[in-house]
Structure 1
Amino acid sequence: MTRFTRKFLLSATATAALALSSQAQAADGHDHTCADQACETALLFADTPSASGAAAATSLESPKYGTWGFDLSGMDRSVKPGDDFFKFANGTWDKTTEIPSDRVRWGNFNKLRELSDARLHAILEEAKAGKLQDPDAAKIAAGYAAYMDEALAEKLDAKPIAPELAQIRKIKSRDEFTALMGKANTTGFSSILPVFISIDAKAPTKYAVMSGTGGLGMPDRDYYLQAAFAEKKAKYQAYVQQLLTMIGWQNPADSAKAVVDFETRLAEASWTRVERRDRDKTYNPMTPAELAAYTPGFDWNRYLAATELPKVDRVVVTTNTAFPKFAKVYGETPLETLKAWQAFHVADGAAPLLSKRFVDAHFEFRQKELAGQPEQQARWKRAAQFMDQSIGESIGRVYVARYFTPDSKAKMDDLVANIRTAMRERIEKLEWMGPETKAQAQDKLAKFTVKIGYPVMWRDYAKLELKPNDLYGNAVRTGAFQWRRNVARLDQPVDKREWGMTPQTVNAYYNFANNEIVFPAAILQPPFFDPDADPAINYGGIGGVIGHEISHGFDDQGRKSDGDGVLRDWWTAEDNAKFKAQADKLGAQYSAFEPLPGSKLQGGLTMGENIGDLGGLSLGLDAYHASLKGKPAPVIDGLTGEQRVFLGWAQVWREKYRDEALRQQVVTGPHSPAYYRVNGTIRNIPGWYEAWDVKAGDKLYVAPEDRVRIW
């Protein structure tokens, strides 16, 4: 994934997902979660298409699991369920599964991502052969041809970025450099204070211009500041020097040290990821005049003029207290260092799109060093992923016609309705919440919007130009297209029909401002959803996912918006205190988990996702019970209905990591590793104890008074 992909995400409507970890950061060191930009979405899984397996999938058909939706052969029945439920459900799979050599992790999400890539590849090849019937077929063919033309990339080498490097070299003043950073959304340049457009959290029928802090080339501020990452920091400096040498930058060794020292000062001034999660603290509207006074020496008028924005009278600042510190560092840094910093980031962002020496250098540091990935992915897969990011809804239109049936959509509608009913009943029965807050919560739940499969209105790419012989230009034009599209609708009402993901994305999300849950077509297949599977498996799989996204509307940050998506406090003080007490207890549980020696989870960082998991599985179990309509659940292969719900949840989270990728996730990821999404979740659900006869003395046992019940 390139820096241009990062820009697509930053300029899009923000969302919240069920994602597992920040693979985007594992891939290229950039923050694709928009945490610093106060993204308003919660993902199910933070996977990106940046590191696919080496071989093409042998089939374009959806996978199947066992005879009734669960892979019994992957269990390890020698493990006691109450001691380690993840290993009980997945232990044999874990022992016998190898992570592909061009993957940093492997599991069921990745398996479906592999399938999605293979399907996209088939569509792209048809377009290349002139056989694809779609209004955008020519653009798809041109973009794909450009990516696959490796010979041309070798011939051009660094020439595609030569004009931008020349612009950097010509800069004579700091004000000129400020204006150059203002072009970050329409060029290959970067900014330390990126500007983007998102839904206004306190007026969600409108869009707002926003700004946050950026400028770091490593995955997180901790990589610059913690002694545990000193070796990574040294390797990063060597990588900066390598790229500066490759583009012929003057004094590459000294310049690289100066660049890393500059970024280290920015890291010191940056907010932590836990701080950046607080939606109350990341909403700080300012006028350009107020911004200028707040950041002495940073010319906001010149900067905003260069962004192609119309004259704006308001910018919502996210990490506000960091802004004066960033301005101070910026003002004290020599212009030559700033120019070297910009040149490096241009080369780093473009490297995957240039010649082999750039591609290899980027891979060696971004994937191999930072995430432990041994082998580069196949070029056709990188091409498929690039095209997904650039013209993804046009490709998605073809994908949906081939791979998503009306029957699947209808059955998903029923499942969502059942999970919503379960949530409504859980809210009503909450013992810790008072009637006033309950009424507000029920109103919010009633106003949820549900999107399943694909958009009702496909994106118009008429203004996007993709050329068959200009890969880097295609990336730049795609980023500029996305930015200008958002700028053009600044004064228009928010388009509630818009999606934050393509249909072929294996993920799901909740959008705070739109109060909506979204399930792309690609995740609606086994092991998450199988129309032919035992219902208990579906309730534990996609039912838990649906419940997870619904629960995001009521997690520690989602609960801050009302049913209309407005960021406001609708809680009584007493109920707020009770919620916080339970959330803090859950955070303490997760902060005690230590995936690697000396590397503990951050309960405050993963709080929203942990609440989503706990609520999601609880809702899936309740909805399954309701679906029985008072009849006893059938026993299948000696397993009760309740047991199969928990097994369905555990099967979804079959996942293995390379140590470096896992370490990076602990530092940067809002999601707990898969192992804890199983064991950390089930130990708080009373039904799990009953289903598996878990007793005091079992390793996962938590006394009833210490279990967390939020929703």
Structure 2
Amino acid sequence: MKFFKPFIFAATGILALSACSTKGPGKENRRAVFSPENMDTTVSPGENFYQYANGGWIENHPLPDDKSRYGAFDMLAEENREKVRTIIEEASEMEAKDGSVAQQIGDFFATGMDSMAIEKAGLAPLKDQFQLIAQVKDPKSLVKVTAELHKQQIAPFFYLYSSPDKKNSEMVITNFYQGGLGLPDRDYYFDDSERGENLRTAYKKYLTTLFTLKGETKEKAGEIASEVFELEKRMAKASNTRLENRNPQKTYNPTNIEGLAEMAPGFDWNLYFNTVGLSDPGKINVGQPDFMANVAAMAKKVSPEQWHSYLNATVLRRMAPYLPHGFVDASFEMYGKTLSGQPSKEPRWKRVLNTTNGALGEAVGQLYVEKYFPPEAKERMLELVGNLKKSFARRIDQLDWMSDSTKEEAHKKLKAINVKIGYPDKWRDYSDLEVSNDSYAENVLRSNRLDFVYDLNKIGKPVDEDEWHMYPQTVNAYYNPLANEIVFPAAILQPPFFYAYGDDAVNYGAIGMVIGHEMTHGFDDQGRQFDKDGNMNDWWSPSDAEKFDKRAQVLVDRYDKFTVLDTVKADGELTLGENIADLGGLNITYQAYKMSLEGEPEPEKLDGFTDDQRFFLAYARVWAQNIRNEEILRRTKEDVHSLGKWRVNGPLPNMETFVEAFDIEESGEMYLDPEKRASIW
């Protein structure tokens, strides 16, 4: 199953789209889409537009116990999961031939649902991993064991994966990226706030529980937990911050195996690569050289017994969701309840479905497309993408801060953006995957091993331009700067975010916005560093780059002032790329809508709102959500996307068209003085 792939700008809740036409029906067939029940008209749009547009929806859709966040986007994801469930359950009920897709999907899901068999097996599926770890006696054996675990997508220390070369994006090269931590961000190990202390305490308790379940006494398990935490803290100290990792220049450090040995002495890199099955790694990009050097140095300084504890913890953390209920409950207690505030686990069928979907993603996707995706959707989406490209081109021409030479290059990149809609043109072959009815955990491990080989086999070869990095049944979208492409999987191309009986203003505000957002990622603070061919290449004049940075800083400063909870502020720098894409996407999409009206009579009011008002209300409606306090804090630290409220109240005041549409008074919270507004794309 796909385990690690950085540097894809996924929407992660940006919008859900429809396969329906962008043209609304005649006036006589339109019906209200902005029901007062979903709004809070007691709030002035000039004070809090998010609450004004969504207050009723928020009140009428309380958080389910198995959710840390629940919004319009999550509703679509749940509906889609039911469709995938139907596909998987149908496969489970078939008398399928061994090795067929139906047999693989059915048996994988069935073993996950067989809780009695999982309880009976206990830790037996991991006996080989534990015996392997016991072989660590010195730095050389540590390297060999690390490589063997990596082959199973159990990743102590760092990740090994394939990716296009940032400066030669037609070729796939070897990549390393920092990892090995049990807490989801290095800053959690050093956060001296009360929440930080509580999370570290909870994490040590979690590790203690894992080792107690493994058979250690509670006292011994506590000692091991403290030992593992201190090792991880040392690695965390050497790790880049999330902000540092947002810099594509900083994470591009190409070398070869000889250079890697000089960069990170202490690891036998020849032994490592031979063990993972990559005897000739060729060009190697090291995302975080200092981290790799520190980890390699630790190989000699840390005792084998300490490495046993750390490696066993890594295996248990990685595999806990597929083990008996004690491990599952402990994992949820840490990562679901403590980190995100989620009161209860999702039902078993949802969790097993997610795992089955991850292991056989394109096989499930092929069945999904056949059953649920209308073929005419691609044509209709391509038409809308064309409209947005025309709008973006016009906005580039209108920029008063960019030189003609840089505009020319921007036009080239915009024109070259590749668009993928619905599903891949060719499907992955899973015939080499052995799926048995013997063990859920072992099926997961077999899938991991196959995916590891599948990924490494790309190294040293030209990029497969037909490859997708999301499955068709995924409710999401992404921009890939290394391919200069925007991708919209089938599952996101459906209601309820496109209103079949809404008008064009509504559809542009919702369905059009995702396209503008993803396009703008090619020109945000990260994407702009890549050219039309996906190579990291500076196509900006120094003066234009300086002007861009100055304009982007306006957004950083604005979002830094937003209070997300109590005294905690948003992180304008971490979320800068997404905030640029939101504002740019809104500007591009709004202009595309207005271009579609050229030569047409002015639209009449509908539902009591002008067409401009309907455009902005449709955009705001996408972000209606309820979210737990713990999840607010977690996302503020970890997520490059702003919270839903600020994806509405953040960009809109920068747009004069929004201010005019709702007659926002200068005294209102949603008003920004023109000289304080951000204006980039």
Question: What TM bracket, shorter-length normalisation?
Answer: over 0.9
C-alpha deviations, 1:501-552, integer Å up to 9, x for none? Answer: 1111111100001100001111112243344432211111121110000000
For residues 290 and 689 of structure 1, what CA distance do their matches in structure 2 show? 56
Q: Give the structure 2 partner of residue 526 of structure 1.
A: 495
CA distance 1:485–1:117, shift in 2 (3 Å)? same
Distance verdict in 2 for CA 1:45–1:603, change over 3 Å: farther
Change (3 A) 1:491 1:323: closer
Retained in 1: the 8 A contact 2:92–2:107?
yes
Q: Please state how far the C-alpha of 1:608 moved relative to its aligned partner.
A: 0.6
Aligned-partner Cα distance in 2 for 1:68–1:199: 48
One of 239, 255, 259 as aligned partner of 2:206: 239
Q: List alignment gaps of at least 5 residues for structure 2.
A: 17-29
- Answering whether residue 113 of structure 2 is matched by residue 148 of structure 1, we say yes
Determine helix, strand or coil for the equivalent of 1:212. Answer: strand
Aligned to 2:243, which of 274, 280, 297?
274
> Deviations along 1:203-255, whole A, 9 cap, x unmatched?
11110100021111001111110112011101101111110121125832211
Q: Does 1:100 align with 2:64?
A: yes
| Percent identity of paired positions between Structure 1 and Structure 2 | 37
User: What is aligned with 2:8?
Assistant: 15
Scaled by the length of structure 2, the TM-score of the pair is 0.94
- Per-residue deviation at 1:319? 1.5
* 1:124-176 deviation line (CA, Å, top 9, x unaligned): 11111117999611211111111111111011011111221121123222221
Task: Write the mapping of 1:106-185 to structure 2, written as runs, cut at 5 A.
Answer: 106-130=70-94, 136-185=101-150
Partner of 1:408: 377
Q: What pairs up with 1:506-545 in 2 under 5 angstroms?
A: 506-545=475-514
Which residue of structure 2 aligns with residue 609 of structure 1? Answer: 578
Q: 2:604 aligns with which of 617, 634, 651?
A: 634
Partners of 1:705 and 1:156 in 2: how far apart?
66
Aligned to 1:314: 283
Deviation at 1:456, TM superposition (A): 1.2
Contact in 2 for aligned 1:185/1:479 (Cα 8 Å)? no
What is the distance in 1 between the residues matched to 2:33 and 2:534? 37
Paired residues for 1:187-206 under 5 Å? 187=152, 189-206=154-171
Residue 544 of structure 2 corresponds to residue 575 of structure 1? yes
Q: In the alignment, residue 430 of structure 1 is paired with which amino acid?
A: L
Per the TM alignment, residue 45 of structure 1 is displaced from its structure 2 partner at its CA by 7.7
Return the alpha-carbon distance in structure 2 between the equivalents of residues 424 and 401 of structure 1. 36
- Separation of aligned partners in 2, 1:441 and 1:160: 54
Q: Say which of 291, 309, 317 aligns to 1:348.
A: 317
Of 653, 657, 660, the match for 2:627: 657
Aligned to 1:620: 589
Once residues 327 and 394 of structure 1 are traced to their aligned partners in structure 2, the CA distance between those partners, rounded to angstroms, is: 39
SS in 2 for 1:452: strand
The amino acid across from 2:206 in the alignment is Y
Aligned equivalents of 1:165 and 1:590: distance in 2?
A: 47
Paired with 1:219 and 1:67, the residues of 2 have a C-alpha distance of 46
Check whether the contact 1:14–1:199 (CA below 8 A) recurs between aligned residues: no
Rounded to whole Å, the distance in 1 between the matches of 2:266 and 2:587 is 53
Shift of 1:486: 2.1
Q: Quickly say closer, same or farther: Cα 1:70–1:342, change in 2 above 3 A.
A: farther
Equivalent AA in structure 1 for residue 623 of structure 2 = W
1:41 corresponds in structure 2 to none
Q: Secondary structure at the match of 1:78?
A: coil
CA distance in 2, matches of 1:565, 1:403: 33
Change (3 A) 1:283 1:586: same
Match of 1:49 in 2: none
Alignment of 1:21-36 (within 5 A): none
Partner of 1:689: 659
Q: Which whole-Å CA distance do the structure 2 matches of 1:562 and 1:674 have between them?
A: 31
Aligned runs of 1:396-545 on 2, under 5 Å?
A: 396-545=365-514
Unpaired segments ≥5 residues, structure 1: 21-43, 47-65
Contact 2:159 2:179 in 1 (8 A): yes
**Alpha-carbon deviation of 1:647?**
0.8
Evaluate the alpha carbon distance shift between residue 534 and residue 132 of structure 1 in structure 2; reply closer, same or farther with a 3 A threshold. Answer: farther
Structure 1 window deviating more from structure 2 (98-107 vs 290-299): it is 290-299
* Counterparts of 2:100 and 2:498, CA distance in 1: 31
| Whole-angstrom CA distance in 2 between matches of 1:407 and 1:194 | 40
Deviations 1:459-517 (A, max 9, x none): 11111221122211111121221221122232322111111111111111000011000
CA distance in 1, matches of 2:628, 2:100: 42
Structure 1 contact 14–500 (Cα < 8 Å) conserved: no
Distance in 2 between residues matched to 1:68 and 1:209, nearest whole Å: 54
Amino acid at match of 1:204: S
Once the two structures are overlaid, the 10-residue window that deviates more, 194-203 or 511-520, is 194-203
Asked if the contact 1:266/1:329 (under 8 Å) is kept, the reply is no
Which amino acid counterpart does residue 564 of structure 1 have in structure 2?
D
Q: CA deviation at 1:111?
A: 0.7
Q: 1:69 to 1:9 in 2, by over 3 A?
A: farther
**1:70 CA drift (Å):** 4.3
Change (3 A) 1:180 1:530: farther
CA 1:79 to 1:278, structure 2 compared with 1: closer, same or farther past 3 Å?
A: same
Question: Which residue does the alignment assign to 2:332?
Answer: 363
- 1:544-579: CA deviation from partner (whole Å, max 9, x where unpaired): 110000000000000011001111100000000000
Measure the CA separation in 1 of the matches of 2:186 and 2:307: 19
Is contact 2:208–2:225 with CA below 8 Å preserved after alignment? yes
Distance 1:129 1:254, change over 3 A: same
Shift of 1:334: 2.3
The CA deviation at 1:300 is 1.6
SS at match of 2:476: coil
Q: Give, as a single letter, the amino acid of the residue that structure 2 aligns with 1:601.
A: A
Count of aligned residue pairs for this structure pair:
662
Amino acid at match of 2:203: Y
Is 2:40 the counterpart of 1:76? yes
**Alpha-carbon distance, 1:14 to partner:** 5.1
User: CA 1:689/1:140 → structure 2, altered by over 3 Å: closer, same or farther?
Assistant: same
Does the 8 A contact of 1:555 with 1:611 survive in 2?
Answer: yes
CA change 1:189–1:249 in 2 (3 A) is farther
SS of 1:510 mapped into structure 2: strand
Letter in structure 2 aligned against 1:126: E
- Residue of structure 2 equivalent to 1:89: 53
Between stretches 310-319 and 666-675, larger displacement belongs to: 310-319
- Tell me the alpha carbon deviations over residues 56-79 of structure 1, each in whole angstroms, 9 at most, x when there is no partner: xxxxxxxxxx93544542111111
8 Å CA contact 2:560–2:569 kept in 1: the answer is yes
Question: Where do residues 278-317 of structure 1 align in structure 2 (5 Å cutoff)?
Answer: 278-317=247-286
1:270: how far off? 1.0
Letter in 1 for 2:139: R
Tell me by how many angstroms 1:332 deviates.
Answer: 2.4
Q: Is the CA contact 2:36–2:56 (under 8 Å) kept in the aligned structure 1?
A: no
Q: Is residue 2:623 matched to residue 1:645?
A: no
Cα-to-partner distance string for 1:238-288 (whole Å, 9 max, x where unaligned): 111110121125832211111101111111111110110000111001121
- Partner of residue 23, structure 2: none
SS of residue paired to 2:420 = strand
Query: 1:26 — aligned with what?
Result: none
